[in-house]
Amino acid sequence: MTSPADATTEVAVSQESVAMVTGAGRGIGAATAERLAAEGMAVIVVDRTEQDTRATVAAIRAAGGRARGIGCDVAVAQAVTAAVATAVEEFGRIDVLVNCAGINRDRLLLTMGDQEWDTVLDVNLGGTMRCSFAVGRHMRRQGHGRIINFSSVAARGNAGQTNYATAKGAIAGFTRTLAAELGPHGVTVNAIAPGFVATPMVDELAARLGGDRDRVLSEAAKSAAVGRIGTPEEIAATVVFVARPESGYLTGETVHVDGGRP
């Protein structure tokens, strides 16, 4: 007889498999959604508004994939519950959840207001919790699933990002604990911690610093052993690896993809 834990090794990334990716309107989330679709999965593209999901959905469909865009503010519990209910009703299941939605409000702690602290924690950490709770219940009933959270190398500490670093650091503990809780039900839970990656968030960072984007990227590249920054596609490839059936014995871990940053 096959146990729920063994069932994780039998879940193929197939046309019938379904992934939900939050924060998928741009950057790493969009690259992840497109790559999972290229692997043959139907993808639920989630971002703050449905309008924000359209470019990613169009790219997936243009490549012959199946996608559905859903607007959802992951900081609002009712919105998350409704989005997951819509996804399950339409697709019948969710095999992979990628919690990629995230924001930053960078500021030194002594000049940071409560709202800047609360908003970052509520989206990055709270959103991960809410989506994992809503989708995890379905995965437990299915007897299999993959939950992939997004941490960051900023969790090691980064001046001007106490709120962001705190949220991303907490995700490691959340991931480890949820893995222990859902493991007996055939669900693995892991996190990915990217280093410096060229995304729209980098453009926003450069603007806040009052600097040139290329200069910011050049400076960031110097801190990596490989001498360059990462791409969204490289992070997406790591998500696919963690989502594969062959990764069924990997759970509770935070995988750093940072180009060898010290």
**Residues belonging to the active site:** 164
| Per-residue tokens: 109 | 């702690």
Angle at 60 between CA 56 and CA 66, to 5 degrees: 120
CB count in 10 Å sphere of residue 1: 3
Residue 192 CA to its chain's centroid (Å): 8
Task: State how far the Cα of 181 lies from the Cα of 187, in Å rounded to an integer.
Answer: 9
Q: What distance in Å separates the CA atoms of residue 117 and residue 109, rounded to the nearest whole number? A: 9
Strands lying side by side in the sheet with 96-99: 67-71, 42-47, 18-22, 96-99, 145-150, 187-194, 254-257
- Tokens in use for 250? 């990997």
